[in-house]
Structures are given as structure tokens and as C-alpha cells.
């Protein structure tokens, strides 16, 4: 088959960093080609050069066999290349149709008036053609993330893309939506489109791709055919060493109750009840997991416990002390550490240095400050210790947190939270958007806390993670706990039914 894209000897140098080193990459017509690599390996950089966001320092790009200089995305679009970014670029208050035609709007009256009727018709046509069902008239802010992704794909197709680049498309999707996406992509290749998928999730690679190119630290390692490989092999190539995908964990008898939650109630940002009387205990030396489909009150639960949200009823007791509706600083002082679900929103002040981030929450305590004055030498020393112990890949502790890759940012957060030696560790989606190496590391650390006889509250949307780590699993549905099962005895099917709201007993 003919190569629609061929990137030859691509090297991209940023000041101080070689992001791509002599990378070769080819995309055949009609295939789904996965670009696999850990966070920060240089996958997105490579594709940004294909899309014209960066120019290669050296190397050549051939589109349909022709040497092409892609100076900016307009050139890329005119060459039939479309890109769906990890963070969607949609105008939220606009409708689906308005977003899709944005930038190439059909117009009336000599280009002065947007022809909305034609836009809607166009969108309906194109969505029918590729089997991507959307309602052109709803506003983007009112549709689900999966739907928004379809809009992004349609936007690219509307501009005539034959080559689609999708950057981490599954990071934001639910399992069902991931399956749906797989079907959509197959349908597109069936109609002659060629697709590049950037990801670091091995399961999806196996499920979706025709071929896989693995990139590690800016260099291309290997290109493999899907049927000739498996997840273990891919993981090894990607990380560069043998990876243990199974969490090893000894049996352990749980100790005393560390945190007791009783009949907890709270409302969400819109004022709608999100927690409708939740009760559970977390004991010393156990990992207590809260599983469930996103949006069933998990976020609110964690926020209420950590003092970020006021409860409207019920109580939380930590080691016999009532911490209900206490300010966050009190909760931290009481011995709670918290790995937040969104590291960019909550976990880090991205503009601050790693050192400053490493003391967020303990900045008022010795040895980091004395009578209100920060002791920067001590803070830097402390941060260097964390970087070393938790293998955070960074030039030094002075760089801004935003310059780190997602996995390394997450490691820094985990390092900071564990360094406080908490009585209770709340880990909310601790491995979201994190590469395999970091997942393995973080899982080991969570188990280590449990083995140190600390209490761990794990909140995760990923069933695999919950089942691998938890000693007990509580499933939430619609703001209530549907049931609690032992981690060892739990089956995926059983949990799945509970997650959909069905009670275990009714089964």
C-alpha cells in the first residue's frame, strides 16, 4: 500500500532538549497507526510538526509522495491533514454546527451573512456519511465529552481531512465511549481515511490499531504489526525495561478504623444533591476503594472530606476527631494527604517551581518556614530529596512545574503527599493520564502505604486499578453506596452491575 505520509529523519531541538532525534515514520493509506510512547517521549511533538505547529529542525516530510514544507496548520489543512487535540478547541457557547463550520463557514449575501441552514445541512450530511451521529443544533457546552470529540473529528472531516491525527483521544472517555470510538475509526478507514492515534494506553493499542510505532525519549524504537505483538512486549519496548503490570500485594489484616464517614450529604456546583447519605469506614492497613462511573458523587465525596466543599449533613471522624466542614488546612494538619483527581487544577501551581510546589500545604510548617519567612535552602534541599526518591525526571528543582510531563508532575504530587507521612491517604484517580512506568510506581507506593499500616482511600474510575489494588471496594451510584465487596472476591461483572445502579443483593 502507498504511504500517504512519510516523515524522514525528523529531528526537533528545543532549547536544551532534543524532542525528536532522527525519527522515521510512515502512514499507509487506510490504516490506523498508533504512535505509542510514555508521556514526554516526543509523540505529540512529532505530530505537531506534521500538522505545522512546529517546523522540524531537520528532516523531510512527504505527503502522498511529495516533499512538502508544512509551515503552519493552514498548509496542513490544505494538504488534507486534520488534528484532534487532547484538549478540545471548541467554542462552548456555540452550537455543534457552528463549531464544525467555524473557519470555513458557508455564507450568503456575498460573504457577509453566515448561511446557518446550509451549515446545518452540511453537518447532517457529513455526520450521516461517516456514521458520526451528532445533533447540530445543541450547544457544545451541553454535550458530553465523547460527543465533543465527535464534533472535533467532524470539524476535521468538514475541512476535507484524509489524514486524521488524534492526540490521546481516549484519555477523557468512558469505557463505552472508547468502544464507540473504535468503531467510528474503523468506519473512517473503511472510507479511505488514514488515521494516526497518539496514546500510551496499551489496551487500546491492541484493540484499535493496525500497526504500532513505539517512541522512547525522542527516538523511534520499532514499528510493529498489531497481530505480531502483545501488551507485555509493547510495555517493555515503551518503557525500555521489563514492566510488571500486575500489582503484588500480600494479604493483610486491617487494623483500627482511621476515618469514619456517617450519612454524609452534599450538593454539587449546581446545587443538586450529589451525596445522599454516604457511610463507610476506612481502616489502618487497608486500601479502601470507591468505584463507580464518573459523576456519581466521587469528586464531591473527596472534596467534602478534604474540606474543599461544605457538607450539608452527616459527619466525618478522623482518629476520633470530628473534621466535618473543617478548613482544608485543619484537615491536612489532622493527618490527611490527598492526591487530587486533576493535577493541573488542584495539584500544582504550574507557574511555581517544583520546590515551591513540593511544600504546598506544609509551607507554614517547620522546617520550611519560621515565623512567616520561608527557608528556601531547606525547601530546595527537601525537593531534591523527593525528586531523587520518587524518580521525578527534571533538570532541577527550580524549573516551573508546567515544564514537566504529566507523569512526572503526578510523581511530584505523590511524593509531596506521601512525604507528610499521613494517617489517611486519599488517592483520587492517581494514575489518570500517566504513563505505564509511572503507574507501576504509583501503585507500588500506594501498597507500601497500606503495608506501613496507614489507611488509603482510593477513588478511581478504572475498574482494573480498583480490582488490582483494593482490599475492599465500595461502589457508588447516584450519590449513594450501592454495596461494599471484598477486593479479592470481586468480579468485573458483579462490580459492573453495581456501577449501573443494580444492587448486589437483588442479583
Partner 1 sequence: MKKKINYLLENVKYPLLAIALAFLIGSIFVILTDNSPIVAYSALLDGSLGNIPKFGETLLKTTPLIMTGLAVAFAFRSGLFNIGGEGQYLVGAISTVTAAWVLQDLPGFILIPIILLAGAFGGAIWGGVPGFLKAKLGVHEVIVSIMLNYIALFLTNFLVRVTLNPSTLQGTEQKAYSVMIPEHARLLKFNEFMPVFGYSSLHVGILIAIACAVGIWFLLFKTTIGYEIRSVGHNPYASEYGGISISKNIILSMMISGGLAGLGGAMTIAGLTFKVDQSSGLPGYGFTGIAVALVGKNHPLGVLASALLFGIMSNGSRKMQFEGIPKEVVGIIQGIIIIFIAGEAMLKFMTTRKKKEEKGEVA
- Binding residues (CB under 8 A) for partner 1: these are 55, 57-58, 306-308, 327-332, 338, 340, 345-352, 356, 360-361, 363-364, 369, 372-374, 376
Burial class (CB in 10 A: 0-12, 13-18, 19+), 118: middle
Q: What is the DSSP string of 162-178?
A: SEEEEESTTTT--HHHH
CB-wise, 17 or 138, nearer to partner 1?
17
CB-wise, 123 or 426, nearer to partner 1?
426
Shortest Å distance, C-beta 121 to partner 1: 39
Shortest Å distance, C-beta 43 to partner 1: 22
CB-wise, 224 or 354, nearer to partner 1?
354
Shortest Å distance, C-beta 87 to partner 1: 17
Q: Which helix (H) or strand (E) holds 256?
A: none
Distances (CA, A) of 177 to 101, 112, 171, 255: 24, 39, 11, 40
Shortest Å distance, C-beta 73 to partner 1: 16
CB 95 within 8 A of CB 148: no
Shortest Å distance, C-beta 52 to partner 1: 14
Shortest Å distance, C-beta 364 to partner 1: 5
Nearest in space to 447 (alpha carbons), one of 423, 421, 471, 412: 471
Shortest Å distance, C-beta 290 to partner 1: 19
Distances (CA, A) of 206 to 46, 74, 104, 234, 235: 22, 33, 36, 10, 12
Rg (CA), the chain: 25
Measured CA angle at 142 (ends 136, 148), to 5 deg? 65
> What end-to-end distance do the CA atoms of the chain give, in Å?
52
CB-wise, 113 or 363, nearer to partner 1?
363
Shortest Å distance, C-beta 188 to partner 1: 35
Shortest Å distance, C-beta 384 to partner 1: 18
CB 154 within 8 A of CB 126: yes
CB-wise, 186 or 370, nearer to partner 1?
370
Shortest Å distance, C-beta 329 to partner 1: 3
Pairwise CA distance, residues 89 & 73, whole Å: 14
CB-wise, 187 or 369, nearer to partner 1?
369
CB-wise, 32 or 379, nearer to partner 1?
379
Please give the sequence-ordered ranges of beta strands (E in DSSP) within 31-102, or none if there are none: 32-36, 58-63, 66-68, 81-84
CB-wise, 29 or 420, nearer to partner 1?
420
Pairwise CA distance, residues 51 & 74, whole Å: 9
CB-wise, 120 or 332, nearer to partner 1?
332
Pairwise CA distance, residues 159 & 100, whole Å: 9
CB-wise, 71 or 488, nearer to partner 1?
71
Please give the sequence-ordered ranges of beta strands (E in DSSP) within 16-69, or none if there are none: 17-28, 32-36, 58-63, 66-68
Task: Tell me how crowded residue 473 is: count the other CB atoms within 10 A of its CB.
Answer: 28
Task: Tell me how crowded residue 88 is: count the other CB atoms within 10 A of its CB.
Answer: 16
* Phi, psi of 353, rounded to the nearest 5 degrees: -70, 165
Task: Tell me how crowded residue 462 is: count the other CB atoms within 10 A of its CB.
Answer: 14
CB-wise, 110 or 377, nearer to partner 1?
377
Pairwise CA distance, residues 344 & 264, whole Å: 27
Shortest Å distance, C-beta 298 to partner 1: 16
Question: For residue 342, what are the contacts with CB-CB under 8 A and spacing of at least 6?
Answer: none
In the beta sheet, which residues pair with residue 67? 62
Shortest Å distance, C-beta 302 to partner 1: 11
CB-wise, 175 or 327, nearer to partner 1?
327
CB 41 within 8 A of CB 216: yes
Amino acid at each position: 500500500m502507498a504511504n500517504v505520509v512519510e516523515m524522514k529523519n525528523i529531528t526537533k531541538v528545543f532549547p536544551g532538549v532534543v524532542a525528536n532525534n532522527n525519527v522515521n515514520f510512515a502512514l499507509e493509506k487506510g490504516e490506523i497507526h498508533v504512535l505509542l510512547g510514555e508521556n514526554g517521549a516526543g509523540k505529540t511533538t512529532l505530530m505537531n510538526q506534521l500538522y505545522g505547529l512546529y517546523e522540524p529542525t531537520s528532516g523531510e516530510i512527504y505527503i502522498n509522495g511529495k516533499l512538502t514544507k508544512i509551515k503552519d496548520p493552514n498548509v496542513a489543512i490544505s494538504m488534507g491533514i486534520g488534528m484532534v487535540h487532547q484538549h478540545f478547541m471548541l467554542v462552548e457557547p456555540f452550537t455543534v454546527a457552528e463549531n464544525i463550520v467555524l473557519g470555513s463557514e458557508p455564507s450568503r449575501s456575498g460573504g457577509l451573512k453566515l448561511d446557518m441552514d446550509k451549515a446545518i445541512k452540511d453537518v447532517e450530511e457529513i455526520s450521516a456519511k461517516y456514521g458520526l451521529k451528532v445533533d447540530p443544533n445543541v450547544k457544545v457546552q451541553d454535550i458530553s465529552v465523547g460527543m465533543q470529540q465527535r464534533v472535533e473529528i467532524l470539524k476535521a472531516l468538514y475541512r476535507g481531512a484524509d489524514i486524521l491525527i488524534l492526540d490521546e483521544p481516549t484519555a477523557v472517555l468512558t469505557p463505552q465511549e472508547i468502544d464507540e470510538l473504535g468503531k467510528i475509526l474503523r468506519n473512517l478507514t473503511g472510507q479511505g481515511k488514514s488515521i494516526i492515534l497518539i496514546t500510551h494506553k496499551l489496551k487500546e493499542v491492541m484493540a484499535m490499531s493496525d500497526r504500532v510505532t513505539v517512541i522512547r525519549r525522542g527516538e523511534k524504537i520499532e514499528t510493529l504489526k498489531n497481530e505480531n505483538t502483545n501488551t507485555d512486549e509493547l510495555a517493555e519496548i515503551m518503557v525500555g525495561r521489563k514492566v510488571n503490570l500486575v500489582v503484588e500485594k500480600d494479604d493483610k489484616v486491617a487494623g483500627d478504623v482511621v476515618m469514619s464517614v456517617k450519612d454524609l450529604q452534599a450538593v454539587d456546583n449546581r446545587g443538586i444533591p450529589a451525596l445522599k447519605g454516604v457511610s463507610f469506614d476506612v481502616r489502618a492497613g487497608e486500601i479502601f476503594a470507591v468505584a463507580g462511573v464518573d459523576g456519581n458523587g466521587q469528586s464531591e465525596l473527596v472534596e467534602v472530606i478534604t474540606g474543599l466543599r461544605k457538607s450539608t449533613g452527616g459527619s466525618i471522624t478522623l482518629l476520633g476527631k470530628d473534621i466535618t466542614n473543617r478548613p482544608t488546612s485543619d484537615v491536612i494538619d489532622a493527618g490527611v494527604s490527598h492526591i487530587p483527581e486533576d493535577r493541573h487544577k488542584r495539584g500544582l501551581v504550574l507557574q511555581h517551581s517544583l520546590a515551591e510546589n513540593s511544600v504546598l500545604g506544609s509551607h507554614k510548617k517547620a522546617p520550611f518556614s519560621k515565623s512567616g519567612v520561608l527557608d528556601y535552602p531547606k525547601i530546595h534541599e527537601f525537593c531534591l530529596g523527593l525528586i531523587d526518591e520518587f524518580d521525578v525526571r527534571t533538570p532541577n528543582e527550580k524549573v516551573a512545574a508546567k515544564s514537566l510531563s504529566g507523569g512526572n508532575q503526578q510523581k511530584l504530587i505523590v511524593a509531596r503527599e506521601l512525604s507528610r507521612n499521613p494517617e489517611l491517604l486519599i488517592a483520587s484517580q492517581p494514575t489518570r493520564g500517566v504513563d505505564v512506568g509511572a503507574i507501576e510506581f504509583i501503585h507500588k507506593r500506594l501498597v507500601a502505604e497500606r503495608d506501613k499500616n496507614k489507611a488509603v482511600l482510593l477513588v478511581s474510575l478504572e475498574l482494573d486499578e480498583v480490582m488490582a489494588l483494593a482490599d475492599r471496594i465500595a461502589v457508588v451510584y447516584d450519590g449513594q453506596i450501592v454495596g461494599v465487596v471484598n477486593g479479592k472476591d470481586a468480579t468485573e461483572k458483579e462490580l459492573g452491575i453495581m456501577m449501573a445502579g443494580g444492587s448486589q443483593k437483588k442479583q
